[in-house]
Structure 1
Amino acid sequence: MLSPKPESKITLKTWKELDDTLQHIFKKETKVSKPSATFDINEYEMTVEEFISEAKKQGYTVEKIDNSVITLT
């Protein structure tokens, strides 16, 4: 038998989780001379504008793919 369907609890990722992900991607040595990371901002607690502003402030190049998907290089 199945258990009752759990209530949906949306847990958005934090700035800390974003930073940890970026540090992991950009610190590791790869054959790719220009690493990049693509994010769906709907998965994070910040707005698209906050995300873009902070990324640019910290030296990332930002490419907005659509309303909620952003690539950082």
Structure 2
Amino acid sequence: MIEIMRTNDPVVISFVESLLKEAGIAHFIADSNMSIMEGSLGVLARRIMVDGEREMEARQLLKDAGVEQELRS
């Protein structure tokens, strides 16, 4: 799995997760439990991971959806 995004914004996470699910791109939201354990202060960002074979497709999907500013290089 490859990290393509890191954010504290629950709206962005939900939106991206919905887009990836609809496109059939395997993904995983890492650090969700750590974010809850630290008290949801927003210190620890959650990472969105995708299947390495579909990384470029996922990146293009998110660019087309207008969230390219959140993408990691």
TM-score strictly above 0.5: no
TM value normalised by structure 1: 0.40
TM-score by length of 2: 0.40
